Amino acid sequence: MAVPKRKVSHARKMKRRSSVWKLETPTNIVKCPQCGEAILAYRVCGNCGYYKGEAIVSVKDDAKK
C-alpha cells in the first residue's frame, strides 16, 4: 500500500482541489419581458416583480425613501 513519506502542505492540497470548487455560470438566463432585466428562467423578476405578464410581487422603489 502506498504511504506518503511527507505531509502534503495545505497550499499543495488546495492547489490540487482548486478545480473542484469552480462555479459554473447559470445557463438559463433570459430577459424579463416587462423591464428587460436579466433573470433566471421561471423565476419572478426581482426588478419589476412580474412573472408571465402578471404582477406577483410588489416592488418598492428606493427613490421614494
- In tens, the pLDDT along 10-43 reads 999 999 888 777 778 778 999 999 899 999 999 9
The domain locations on the chain are: 25-57
Q: What is the pTM assigned to this prediction? A: 0.52
Q: Tell me the β-bridge partners of 13.
A: none
**CA distance linking residue 50 with residue 3, whole number of Å:** 59
pLDDT of residue 18: 84
- In terms of Cβ atoms closer than 10 Å to its own Cβ (0-12, 13-18, 19+), residue 62 is exposed
Helices of type H across the chain:
10-17
- Measured in degrees and rounded to the nearest 5, phi and psi for residue 37 equal -70, 145
Residue listed under C-alpha cell 419581458: 33
